[in-house]
Every structure is written in C-alpha cells, then in structure tokens.
C-alpha cells in the first residue's frame, strides 16, 4: 500500500498511548500492521511484530527471510530482522524495556503473548483494540477513494449480472463466474460471492453449493473483493423469470427499509438508531421476526470491522465512518431478500459506495 501517511498514523497511535498511559503498542498479524506500517505479514508461525514505544523509535521485528518483502520507511520504523536460531520473543521483550502497561493486537498468536508474559511477569498486557479501532474507524480521504473504486467495480458486475444467464447452472458455477467478473472489472482480488437460490436464500450466509438454479427462483447475490486493500460488499436480488406478487411485496419492504436506514445516517446519530430505522419498516410490515441479523458492519482493510450497526450500540456515528446497510427478510423454505450498500457517513450527508439499481432484476 502506498500513498498513505504512515508517519502520521504512527504519531496518532502514540498520542493514544499517551492518553491511555500505555508504554508500548505491539502489533503482529492482521490489518493493524499494514495500517500502521504499510507491511502485511504472512500469517505463519514465525513472529512478525511492530514494537511501538510511546517515546522512542518504532521497530518492525521480522523473520530475516521475510525482510526483503518490507518496503523500507526509515521515517516510520526501523527493521530488526531475526535469524533462524534467535528467540524473537526475547528480542521483542528487550525492545519493550521496563514497560508496565503494554497493548497487544488482537491478531497475535497466543504462543507469543504467553511467551512475553513469561519473560515480563511485571508487565500488564491489554488489548490494543481501543487504539487500533480509534485510528481505523475514521477513514482518510484516500481510503474512502479506494472504497469508492471497489464499490464501483462491484456495481459494474451487478449490472452485468442483469444479462447473465442463471438457470441451469449451479450456485457454485455462478459464484465462480462472479469472482472472475470482479477481477475483469477493476477488483484486484475477488473475495467472496454468496449465490443463494430459492429456499437457500433464507440462510443469510449460505455457501454457494451444487443446487441447480431454475425458473421461478429468487437469488440472493452478495459479493465483494478488494481494491488497494479496501473491500467492497454489495447484495442485489435477481429472479429467474417474473417474480410472483408475494415476492415483489417482500422485496419492496426490504428496499424501503434499506432506504430509510441509509437516510438515517448522519454524524451524531447512534448506530442502533440506524438499525432501528430499517427494523421498524420491516416490523411494521409484519416481518420483524424474519429480519434475523444486525443491519450492518464497518468495512475497510477488513471486510467486517467497527462500527457495527446493531441494536444496543449507542456509538455515535462520525464523519469518515464506512459501513454496510443490509437489512433482509428470510422466509424459511421459501426465499430470502437482502439489499446491501456500503455507505460513508459524511459531514454533508451520506455517500453510497454502491449505486446499482436496487429493484429486483429479472434474469434468464
Ligand atoms: Zn454478511
Ligand atoms: Zn455482503
Ligand atoms: Zn456485508
């Protein structure tokens, strides 16, 4: 990842450490490391860890054989490569000095945390999530730009699917076709493509399988991938042949619920009030018990991250937060309907990253 100001992110991380009276931040696997350093570690058994002291130079401790993968950023961190016969836990412990409080990333193999706790029994280890979340939850303009590009790529595929034959193919076949279409239309890496046909649509996270799609099926198509490390995620509804009235009614309820929730997004409102905006439409129509999941999830370097748009979350939305709005109605044995866009909360209003038509699309 290029084009981001990693030094500024490191500085913000340090300011969070000062506020929280934490001596050092330790970040291993997962998206926190590329966020802070531009480097994505291989999720293997050898230890990679950024050691970010509150005062002092950040050090990226990395296996010697992976050091060539690191883009040097001397203004952001120094690299300490460890050889095959060295003990990386001892190296990290040495860099931590006399830390009384350390924060450690959620995506760290437990073997390394246990090792550090043994070497440094006086150090208190806390989850780094409050710090990493505070940084990552507000997207910079360049990050929003990548979310926009990723969304536009997914929208092109959603449009192409209107002319795409479904009937006679298995869900898995269509799922693989969508992956290829994403990569042919500007997505760097296809991520996932849920294709849930007929009664399978009533299972929100149905895995595309060997069911053959046929005339009369409603199909939930939920897909996304990454552009420059940032995810897309959109759901649209297709129907093989003309949908019956009952389907159209349920689809319209979900469409209105999704629209109401998107319209509710603005700085200062709570996450749960956005969930409520969608849920009250579906409840008023008598389908409340069939909307069986939260309204949305944050998105960025990870496909699911903070903030979660869920009942019980009093978190106030702020400009720069990016998340999905994806209400659904799931009727067991019949069909499911979900409509999903990624949106960004802005000072001047909400921006949708997905803009393909939200009506049911009749396909062959
Ligand atoms: Zn999901
Ligand atoms: Zn989705
Ligand atoms: Zn989603």
For residue 160, is it left (φ>0), alpha (ψ between -120 and 50) or beta? alpha
Task: Report DSSP letters for 57-123, one per residue.
Answer: --EEEEEGGGGGGSPP-TTT-EEEEE-TTS-HHHHHHHHHTT-SEEEE-SSS-HHHHHHHHHH-TTP
> What is the distance between the alpha carbons of residues 344 and 269, in angstroms, rounded to a whole number?
14
- Expressed in angstroms and rounded, the spacing between residue 201 Cα and the centre of ligand 2 is 13
Asked if residue 281 lies in contact with residue 298, where contact means CB atoms within 8 angstroms, the answer is no
Q: Is 282 helix (H, G, I), strand (E, B) or coil?
A: helix
- Expressed in angstroms and rounded, the spacing between residue 38 Cα and the centre of ligand 1 is 27
Task: Report DSSP letters for 173-239, one per residue.
Answer: HHHHHHHHHHHHTT-SEEEEEEEEEGGGGGSTTPPP-SPBP-TT-EEEEEEEEEETTEE--EEEEEE
Flag whether 287 is in a domain: yes
Residues 297, 227, single domain; the answer is yes
pLDDT for res 3: 79
Flag whether 216 is in a domain: yes
Residues 224, 256, single domain; the answer is yes
Task: Report DSSP letters for 287-346, one per residue.
Answer: -GGG--S-SEEE-SSSSSEEEEE-TT--PBP-TT-EEEE--EEEETTTEEEE-BEEEEEE
The domain that contains 85 carries what CATH number? 3.40.350.10
The domain that contains 270 carries what CATH number? 3.90.230.10
> What is the distance between the alpha carbons of residues 5 and 92, in angstroms, rounded to a whole number?
25
Residues 155, 282, single domain; the answer is yes
Flag whether 254 is in a domain: yes
Q: Whose atoms come closest to the Cα of 234: which ligand?
A: 2
CA–centroid distance for 356 within its chain: 20
- Expressed in angstroms and rounded, the spacing between residue 128 Cα and the centre of ligand 3 is 25
pLDDT for res 2: 58
Flag whether 1 is in a domain: no
Asked if residue 223 lies in contact with residue 234, where contact means CB atoms within 8 angstroms, the answer is yes
Residues 220, 318, single domain; the answer is yes
Indicate whether this model's pTM tops 0.75.
Answer: yes
The tokens of 284 are what?
Answer: 């008023």
Number of domains observed in the structure of the chain: 2
Asked if residue 342 lies in contact with residue 213, where contact means CB atoms within 8 angstroms, the answer is no
Residues 121, 162, single domain; the answer is no
The ranges of the chain with pLDDT < 50 are none
- Expressed in angstroms and rounded, the spacing between residue 275 Cα and the centre of ligand 2 is 16
Residues 126, 195, single domain; the answer is no
Final residue of a domain: which of 102, 135, 168?
A: 135
Query: Which residues are placed with Cβ below 5 angstroms of ligand 2, an ion?
Result: 222, 233, 340
Final residue of a domain: which of 99, 118, 135?
A: 135
Domain span at residue 215? 141-363
The tokens of 73 are what?
Answer: 């950023």
Burial class for 324, CB neighbours closer than 10 Å (0-12, 13-18, 19+): buried
CB neighbour burial string for 337-354, b if at least 16 within 10 angstroms, e if fewer: bbbbbbbbbbeeebbbbb
Residues 80, 151, single domain; the answer is no
Q: In the chain, how long is the greatest CA-to-CA distance?
A: 69
Flag whether 261 is in a domain: yes
Flag whether 291 is in a domain: yes
Residues 235, 348, single domain; the answer is yes
- Expressed in angstroms and rounded, the spacing between residue 259 Cα and the centre of ligand 1 is 18
pLDDT for res 246: 96
- Expressed in angstroms and rounded, the spacing between residue 304 Cα and the centre of ligand 3 is 7
Asked if residue 23 lies in contact with residue 99, where contact means CB atoms within 8 angstroms, the answer is yes
> What is the distance between the alpha carbons of residues 266 and 273, in angstroms, rounded to a whole number?
11
Residues 130, 146, single domain; the answer is no
- pLDDT tens for 104-153 read 999 999 999 999 999 999 999 999 999 999 999 999 999 999 999 999 99
> What is the distance between the alpha carbons of residues 42 and 45, in angstroms, rounded to a whole number?
9
**Cis (ω within 30 of 0) for the bond into 140?**
no
Residues 46, 173, single domain; the answer is no
- Expressed in angstroms and rounded, the spacing between residue 156 Cα and the centre of ligand 2 is 16
Final residue of a domain: which of 135, 166, 188?
A: 135
Residues 63, 104, single domain; the answer is yes
Residues 171, 70, single domain; the answer is no
- Expressed in angstroms and rounded, the spacing between residue 307 Cα and the centre of ligand 3 is 12
Flag whether 289 is in a domain: yes
- Expressed in angstroms and rounded, the spacing between residue 112 Cα and the centre of ligand 2 is 34
């Amino acid at each position: 990842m290029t084009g981001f100001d990693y030094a500024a992110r490191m500085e913000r991380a340090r300011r969070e450490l000062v506020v929280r009276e934490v001596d050092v931040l330790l970040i291993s696997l997962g998206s926190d490391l590329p966020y802070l350093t531009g480097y994505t570690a291989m999720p293997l058994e050898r230890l990679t860890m950024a050691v970010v002291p509150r005062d002092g130079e950040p050090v990226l401790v990395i296996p010697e054989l992976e050091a060539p993968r690191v883009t040097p950023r001397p203004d952001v961190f120094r690299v300490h490569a460890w050889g095959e016969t060295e003990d990386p836990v001892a190296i990290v412990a040495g860099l931590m000095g006399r830390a009384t409080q350390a924060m450690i990333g959620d995506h760290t193999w437990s073997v390394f945390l246990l090792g550090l706790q043994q070497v440094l029994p006086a150090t208190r280890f806390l989850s780094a999530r409050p710090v990493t979340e505070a940084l990552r939850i507000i997207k910079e303009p360049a990050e929003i730009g990548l979310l926009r590009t990723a969304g536009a790529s997914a929208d092109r595929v959603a449009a192409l699917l209107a002319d795409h034959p479904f009937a006679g193919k298995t869900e898995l076949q269509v799922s693989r076709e969508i992956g290829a279409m994403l990569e042919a239309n500007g997505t760097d890496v296809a991520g996932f493509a849920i294709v849930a046909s007929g009664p399978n649509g009533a299972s929100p996270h149905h895995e595309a399988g060997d069911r053959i799609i046929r005339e009369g099926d409603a199909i939930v198509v939920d897909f996304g991938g990454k552009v420059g490390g940032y995810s897309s995620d959109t759901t649209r509804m297709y129907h093989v042949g003309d949908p019956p009235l009952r389907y159209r009614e349920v689809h319209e309820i979900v469409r209105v619920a999704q629209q109401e929730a998107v319209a509710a997004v603005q700085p200062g409102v709570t996450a749960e009030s956005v969930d409520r905006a969608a849920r009250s439409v579906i409840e008023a129509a008598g389908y409340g018990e069939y909307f069986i999941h939260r309204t949305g999830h944050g998105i960025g370097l990870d496909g699911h991250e903070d903030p979660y748009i869920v009942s019980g979350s009093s978190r106030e939305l702020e400009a720069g937060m990016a998340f999905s709005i994806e209400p659904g109605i799931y009727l067991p044995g019949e069909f499911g309907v979900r409509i999903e866009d990624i949106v960004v909360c802005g000072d001047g209003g909400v921006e949708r990253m997905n803009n393909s038509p939200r009506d049911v699309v009749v396909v062959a």
